[in-house]
Structure 1
């Protein structure tokens, strides 16, 4: 059965909420989001590779990565505002739209029996910006990336 990440736009605030259940523990999901080698293996759509340019996964640290395929490159950057065992708070910027900074909160909720619900909330600066993100094809990259992460969790890579 193929599972997809639920993506919802808040009708009253410029927020995107994403939810997906994984066959892994909160500790494994935190590691997959903070270990640069693991992160580069699963982030983004199929057929793209990711290069980590900067990665300081600690409260107050910054990150930057570039996803690429053929002659196309897409760079992203942000700062980790807080990293705890149950959540990450960070900024997220696509460098192609440098004014579009999102504040993201990722929560890792144990469901028991080695399963975890990932909840992500991205607050952007406007409804127009939120709707542009939703129309950008982010759902494809998110779903394909999360499917790669699920495979890594089940094969023991994380």
Structure 2
């Protein structure tokens, strides 16, 4: 059955800094992988119609085997829509032989000003059946916490 998962967080950083972290590959590899994972891009082209291939590697796959290999998930994604300063929409496919992970999930990341900070909302439509709602909620919350830590860092003093 198609499922939609959502999550949001208000981040104490300017909207333009938060949005920039949604489309910068170096920033994404820093904050997007949930706790216990690291990530790297094989390719990355942030424009409508552009795509990326992201390899997420588990630090310890003994509790959660990867979808693509024993210790990794591979994500093939296409940018469906990018509205600078507002929204990034991606069509996401997991590389896996397991039919429970088949199908295209649409991930929408929206940013809106919220007082002195930025509200970031994630909407995942058509989540594959193999991804439990509990695990997905934890992963999205972890990514949002990582994003907050990444963009809320105080600038270093210049000497």
Aligned residues: 140
Q: Which moved more, 1:135-144 or 1:73-82?
A: 135-144
Within 5 Å, which residues of 2 pair with 1:93-108? 93-96=93-96, 99-108=102-111
Structure 1's unaligned 5+ residue stretches are 1-12
Structure 2 vs 1, CA of residues 69 and 36 (structure 1 numbering), >3 Å: closer, same or farther? Answer: same
In 1, Cα distance between the equivalents of 2:76 and 2:22? 14
Change (3 A) 1:106 1:116: same
What is the aligned partner in structure 1 of residue 75 from structure 2?
A: 76
| 1:15-59 CA-partner distances (Å, limit 9, x unpaired) | 222221111222112211110001001112223211111110111
Instruction: Report the TM-score when normalising by structure 1.
Output: 0.77
Compare 79-88 and 98-107 and name the one that shifted more. 98-107
The one-character-per-residue Cα deviations of 1:106-136 (angstroms, maximum 9, x if unpaired) are: 21111132x11112222217xxx45x43346
Asked whether the 8 Å contact 1:44–1:142 carries over to 2, the reply is no
Match of 1:23 in 2: 12
Query: 1:99-118 maps to which residues of 2 (within 5 A)?
Result: 99-113=102-116, 115-118=117-120
**Contact 2:7 2:141 (8 Å CA) reproduced:** no
Greater gyration radius: 2
SS in 1 for 2:49: coil
Structure 2 vs 1, CA of residues 59 and 17 (structure 1 numbering), >3 Å: closer, same or farther?
Answer: same
CA shift at 1:89, angstroms? 1.5
The TM-score, its normalising length taken from structure 2, stands at 0.77
Query: Equivalences for 1:133-144 in 2 at 5 Å?
Result: 133-135=131-133, 137-144=135-142
* Cα pair distance change 1:138/1:75, threshold 3 Å: same
Q: 1:39 — aligned with what?
A: 28
Instruction: Name the CA shift for 1:15/1:140 in 2 (closer, same or farther; >3 Å).
Output: closer
